[in-house]
Structure 1
Amino acid sequence: MTEVADTRPRWPLVPTLLVLAAVAIMIALGVWQLQRKSEKEALIALYARNMAMPSPVAYPKLPPVPNAMLYRKSSVVCLEVVRWDPRGGSDRRGRTGIRMIADCRTGAEGPGVLIDVGTADDFKTPEWKGGVVAGTIVPGPEQPTLIQRLAGKAVAARAMLVADAPVAGLRPSAVPSAADTPNNHLAYAGQWFLFAVAALAIYILAVRRRLRP
């Protein structure tokens, strides 16, 4: 009596291992985002404490600027405006305009300092040649992206001083707050967990349909 070979389709081993590996990576990314959420909350709390400190600090000479110095009061001497970098923004009353950001030389060496000297109604730069400026240290307008950081190509970000008093003819620019620091890591974590569940569910349904007699 001859044996009949079992021709029923079997659960695919290799694709299943690949899907489980992908799901594990998604879950790990979700857990990492939850860790980043806690770190960002601690950073925002530090920024809030910095904003409450009335005593000024010496402006950092070179980037990167320590987090303990961001949102602190400081002052700097602009010896010469090297270039202007007008950018969209708003004044302290919420009126939109063009922030006049001066890239200033502060000495013979170094990258200089960025100073937001006020908000204008158009792109015409002010007739300001420099001087002593007091204000608040905030993150600069150009920060490295996540891809640049992961690729190891990120350069140290420069901070910026938002002037307390604008130069002649400009309105005082809005000063960023610690509350403006983005913290979307909980949403990102939820997305990764949702992707993992969806991928696993779709794969199980597809395989069950394939295994039906």
Structure 2
Amino acid sequence: MTEPAEQPVRRWPLIPTLLVLAAVAVMIALGVWQLQRKSEKEALIALYQRNMAMSSLVTYPELPPVPDAMLYRKSSVVCLEPVRWDPRSGTDRKGRSGIRMIADCRTGAEGPGVLVDVGIGDDFKTPQWSGGTVLGTIVPGPEQPTVMARAMGKAVPARAMLVADRPVAGLRASGVPSADDTPNNHFAYAVQWFLFAAAALVIYILAVRRRLRP
């Protein structure tokens, strides 16, 4: 009578386990980082809200990057001449959609100039405006660096923009971005990374247990 053959001893795979644990550790680290970013963003929004409550004027920043302490503050600039127009979609202060007319203004013989949102219209027609003194609110400019550019360290400092309190003739006053518009979804990102880590760990354990089952 022949004896039954012994079943081979199955062990947990070492290399795949180490790789999965390393991936889980990275996901958890990303979740913790997002929680830290959440606290930083909350502090930044609080700063912006304090800036919006200030009525005193600040000197418009000549060069980017614009300090956070100057965003959403009141300022004024002298546009010697609009050298380029950049029409973009937007809304006025009553929520009506239209085309924001953003002028890239010359402020001196040299320098980067200043971006001024002089108002919003119903079409792409360039306003008949040759420049002048503009009083308004400093906000982030329309061209901000992407997340990928920031992560790779190739982000170009973004220019700010002055949204005019009084629109030029023929236009409506553009809506002024608020500090409350600053995105702060880092908590949701953190939860996603933690869920990814838990799911990866559970799926791997179930897969290995199924493989080790006689």
What SS class does the counterpart of residue 29 from structure 2 fall into? helix
Q: Look up the equivalent residue of 2:22 and give its one-letter code.
A: A
- Count of residues paired in the alignment: 210
Instruction: Show the counterpart of 2:14.
Output: 13
Instruction: Show the counterpart of 1:172.
Output: 173
Q: CA deviation at 1:8?
A: 2.2
Q: Distance in 1 between matches of 2:136 and 2:187?
A: 33
Instruction: Show the counterpart of 1:27.
Output: 28
Q: CA deviation at 1:6?
A: 6.5
Q: CA deviation at 1:152?
A: 1.6
**1:67-116: CA deviations, max 9, x gaps?**
00000000001111111000000000000000000011111222111000
Instruction: Show the counterpart of 1:52.
Output: 53
Q: Distance in 2 between matches of 1:155 and 1:169?
A: 34
Give 5+ residue unaligned stretches, structure 2: none
Matched, 1:123 2:124: yes
**Is the alpha carbon distance of 1:80 and 1:8 closer, same or farther for their aligned partners in structure 2, counting shifts above 3 Å?**
same
Instruction: Show the counterpart of 1:64.
Output: 65
- The RMSD of aligned alpha carbons is 1.0
Q: Distance in 2 between matches of 1:93 and 1:139?
A: 21
Identity %: 81
> 4+ runs of 1 displaced by more than 3 Å?
none
Task: Please give the TM-score of this superposition, normalised by the length of structure 2.
Answer: 0.96
Instruction: Show the counterpart of 2:161.
Output: 160
Instruction: Show the counterpart of 1:212.
Output: 213
Q: Look up the equivalent residue of 2:91 and give its one-letter code.
A: S
Task: Please give the TM-score of this superposition, normalised by the length of structure 1.
Answer: 0.97
Give 5+ residue unaligned stretches, structure 1: none
What SS class does the counterpart of residue 166 from structure 1 fall into? coil
Q: Distance in 2 between matches of 1:185 and 1:211?
A: 39
Instruction: Show the counterpart of 1:107.
Output: 108
Q: CA deviation at 1:41?
A: 0.2
Q: Distance in 1 between matches of 2:43 and 2:170?
A: 39
Q: Distance in 1 between matches of 2:185 and 2:114?
A: 30
